[in-house]
Every structure is written in structure tokens, then in C-alpha cells.
Amino acid sequence: MPKSAISSIVKEENEMAEATSVFIGQKPVMNYVLACITLLQGGTGEITVKARGRAISQAVDVVEIVRRRFMPDVKVGPITIGTAQLPAREQGGPPSNVSSMELVLRR
């Protein structure tokens, strides 16, 4: 298989993963809950809720609200935790470690 074909397949897989992912940030919790519900009701059988650092607790809140209040048939799949190493904010400083979490929701 040519290298260009492989890179296009990898690109398509990454785009599909991003289309079924909800990245938790600074917005209100209900915005992310709505995004999850919209994806799950739109025919996507599985979505991933991703968060880093302080947003991890907000990601857990989003998943619990979706599961308990709006869609009790949704199951929480594998939960992946890890650490991402980010470059230093100041030049020459040590890199910082940030916790990360991915929660999979399946319908």
C-alpha cells in the first residue's frame, strides 16, 4: 500500500475520532451535556469525553448528568487515565505534567 494511502486512512480515522469526541473545557457543564446527548441521539453509538487537569471533575459531572438524568440506557465504557507532558510556559523551564482522562459512553 502506498504511503499516501496509509496517511489518508490515518487522517480519516483521526477525523472520525474527533467527530465522536467531546473535549471538556471552560464552558458550562450543560453545554457539554447537550453535545453528548446530541451525538448519542444522532446515531453515534459511542462517544468519548476527554478532559485534562482541572476539567477532569467537570467531565465526570457531564457523564453522570447524561447517564442519570437524560439517558439512563447509556453505559460508561472503559475509563482511561494518563499523564500528558506539556512544554514549559517559561522558556527554559521544566515541562509540566498534566493528568488526563477519557470516558467512553455507549448506547
HEC assignment per residue over 83-107: EEEECCCCCCCCCEEEEEEEEEEEC
Please report the pLDDT score of residue 100 as a whole number. 96
| Assigned domain for 45 exists | yes
| Assigned domain for 13 exists | no
Please report the pLDDT score of residue 18 as a whole number. 66
* Position 6 pLDDT exceeds 50: no
Please report the pLDDT score of residue 5 as a whole number. 46
CA distance 80 to 87: 22
Q: Model pTM greater than 0.95?
A: no
What pLDDT digit, counting tens, does each position of 19-30 carry? Answer: 889 999 999 999
Domain CATH for 46 = 3.30.110.20
| Assigned domain for 1 exists | no
Q: Give the angle 34-82-23 at the CA atoms, nearest 5°.
A: 20
* Position 43 pLDDT exceeds 80: yes
User: What residue numbers bound the domain in which 53 lies?
Assistant: 18-106
Helix (H, G, I), strand (E, B) or coil at 34: helix
| Assigned domain for 2 exists | no
| Assigned domain for 24 exists | yes
Counting the structural domains of the chain, the total is 1
